[in-house]
Amino acid sequence: MTYGFLNIYKPKGITSFDVIFKLRKILQIKKMGHTGTLDPMAEGVLIVALSEATKIIEFMMRHDKAYSAEITLGSESTTYDAEGEVKNVSSQKPDFDEVQDVLMTFKGEIDQVPPIYSALKINGKKAYELAREGKKIEMKSRKVTISDIVLIDYNYPTLNIDVECSSGTYIRSLAHDIGQKLGTGAYLSKLLRTKVGHFLIEDSVSLEDLEVDGLEKYLIPIEALSLNFTSVEISRNELNKLNLGQFIERDDINDEVVCAFHDKKLVGILEKVKNTDKPLFKYKKKINT
C-alpha cells in the first residue's frame, strides 16, 4: 500500500477539494484528504495525506502555519476577502508608523472571531450555508496565536505582511480586524501560504509536475509527522502490548501525545492515560505499517 504525504502547491482559483479530486484521478488512490483548507483565492502549501496517512490528519492540522498576505485598506468585504461583495468605507490614509503600530497589537495570543462565510459548523451546518440563506449568525471568538507579523511593504491602499500563526487562525479575519483598528476598513486581497509545520513552499509540487514525474519522487514518508512532535522508540514487547489493546508504562515521556516508533517506523500515536498516577500510554491512532 502506498501511503504518506504530498506537499502540493495549490493554485488560486480552485478549492482544496478540487485538488483532492484531481489527485485521485492522477494517482488512482481513493483514500486521501488535506490537512487544512485553503480558500479558492488563496494559493500555496496544501499538505495531502494518502491512504494510511489519513489516520493522522488531525495531528498534522495542529501545525503552525506561515503566510504572505496582501491587504487592501479603505474597503470592506462581506467575506473579508476579494471573493465577497466589496464596498468603500473610508478615504483615510494612515501613515507607515500607524500601520506598523496597529500590526504589533496583534502579536501574541489574541481573541479572533472567524468569518461568517467559513466552513465552521453551527448546529451541524456550515456557517457559510447559513449566511447564504440570510440567517443571522453569531460567530464565537476563540484564542489564536500570532507568533510573528512583519510589515513587508505599504503603499496605500495595499499593505503586504508576513504572518506566522497557530493552526485555526483566519488571515481573512486578521485583515478585517486590522482595518477596524486603523479605522479604514480592510479586506484580504491576496494570500500565499508559505509553510505548514516543517513543510515549505519551496519544496511543494504542482499537480502538473506530479502528473508528469509520478508519485515516488514527491512522496513524503509518514514519519515526517515526528518533525513537529516528540518521538519515542518502543520495544517489540511494548508494540505487542499496544497491538493487544494494553497499556505501556514509560517514565521518560513528559508529553500527553507522542509519536511511537519501532525499528525506525512510525507505528502509531500514543496518548497518556488520564486519571492515573502512573505514566501509562495507549494508542490514540494505530498505523498499519
**Could you give the residue numbers annotated as active site?**
39
Q: Spell out a b/e string for 174-190, using b for 16 or more CB atoms within 10 Å of the CB, else e.
A: bbbbbbebbebbbbbbb
SS3 241: helix
Q: Find all residues with CB under 8 Å of 44, minimum gap 6, and list them.
A: 9, 10, 38, 67, 191, 192, 193, 194, 201, 204
Separation of first and last alpha carbons in the chain: 9
Q: Which three cell numbers stand for residue 78?
A: 462581506
SS3 240: helix
SS3 19: helix
